[in-house]
């Protein structure tokens, strides 16, 4: 049973989001652009500003187009952006690729890994669109630097994929320790996920008043509510009552 403090990652779009995330108790920030469209590469200047505003680790989205493929030209651009992000303070990156058969495309993943120099990274929610998520998990296992896989268990979100996430985590200790639940995560999902051994959680729009990406910044009270919920659920799952 997972008993350590759960990791809470909060999506931010610009430096104005950082204070709310930090004050609310975020353990890690995920920086992206066009979040409502699934997340795209932000400008390096934005990443630099976010890193300067926060002491918690920052990971950055590497995705330049719709879908989860990577052409030769796109991959060259992603390598360059990865280098830019790391040079301005990012602690890690977030990416994931599928081929035309909806299988994990290892070649671009390995190409990026070669340029990361041991930097930790997250496999993106591309895994939720794989033809066989179970086979996708097998293919990514052992990739250098991979320490997180963000998944909702379904392209439609955690509400649809909850049972699959719980089942996956229960089937394999490595999956449970690597999986980060995210994508329409709701408070009522948390106890089930924690009891399954999942200890990493990602929130996006729910960290903002009204759930609006465009009209609201990350709000400390919203993040703090998630922080307390995750900590309490972990305490209870471990058989201890929160103070």
Angle at 184 between CA 183 and CA 186, to 5 degrees: 125
State the number of CA atoms in the 13 A half-sphere of 170 facing the CB: 11
Beta-sheet pairing, 179-181 with 146-151:
parallel
Stretches in the chain below the pLDDT threshold 50: 1-2, 241-243
Tokens of 237: 């799952």
Per-residue pLDDT at 3? 53
How far apart CA 230 and CA 191 sit, in angstroms, is: 8
pLDDT tens, position by position, 183-195: 999 999 999 999 9
Per-residue pLDDT at 69? 85
Rg (CA), the chain: 17
pTM: 0.94
pLDDT tens, position by position, 30-62: 999 998 878 899 999 999 999 999 999 999 999
| Domains of the chain, CATH where assigned | 22-237 (3.20.20.380)
Tokens of 102: 């909806």
Residue 1 and residue 197 in contact, taking contact as beta carbons nearer than 8 Å: yes
Residue 33 and residue 43 in contact, taking contact as beta carbons nearer than 8 Å: yes
Tokens of 60: 């950055």
Q: Which helix (H) or strand (E) holds 123?
A: strand 121-123
φ/ψ of residue 147, rounded to 5: -130, 0
How far apart CA 24 and CA 17 sit, in angstroms, is: 11
Selection from 150, 222, 225, 224 nearest residue 193 by Cα: 150
Which residue shows structure tokens 């591309």?
Answer: 126
How far apart CA 45 and CA 14 sit, in angstroms, is: 10
How far apart CA 133 and CA 119 sit, in angstroms, is: 25
How far apart CA 85 and CA 108 sit, in angstroms, is: 18
Per-residue pLDDT at 240? 53
């Amino acid at each position: 049973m997972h008993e350590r403090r759960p990791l809470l990652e909060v999506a931010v779009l610009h430096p104005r989001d950082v204070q709310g995330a930090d004050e609310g108790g975020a353990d890690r920030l995920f920086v992206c652009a066009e979040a409502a469209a699934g997340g795209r590469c932000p400008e390096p200047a934005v990443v630099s500003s976010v890193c300067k505003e926060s002491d918690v680790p920052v990971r950055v989205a590497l995705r330049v187009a719709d879908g989860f493929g990577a052409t030769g030209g796109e991959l060259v651009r992603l390598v360059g952006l990865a280098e830019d992000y790391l040079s301005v303070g990012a602690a890690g990156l977030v990416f994931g690729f599928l081929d035309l058969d909806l299988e994990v495309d290892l070649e671009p993943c390995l190409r990026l890994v070669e340029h990361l120099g041991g930097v930790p990274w997250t496999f993106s929610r591309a895994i939720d669109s794989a033809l066989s998520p179970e086979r996708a998990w097998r293919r990514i296992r052992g990739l250098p630097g991979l320490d997180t896989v963000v998944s909702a268990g379904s392209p439609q979100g955690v509400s649809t994929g909850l049972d699959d996430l719980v089942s996956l985590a229960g089937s394999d200790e490595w999956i449970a320790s690597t999986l980060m639940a995210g994508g329409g995560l709701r408070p009522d999902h948390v106890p089930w996920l924690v009891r399954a051994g999942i200890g990493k959680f990602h929130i996006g729009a729910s960290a903002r008043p009204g759930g609006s990406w465009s009209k609201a910044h990350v709000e400390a009270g919203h993040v703090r509510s998630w922080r307390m919920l995750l900590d309490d659920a972990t305490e209870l799952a471990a058989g201890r009552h929160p103070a």
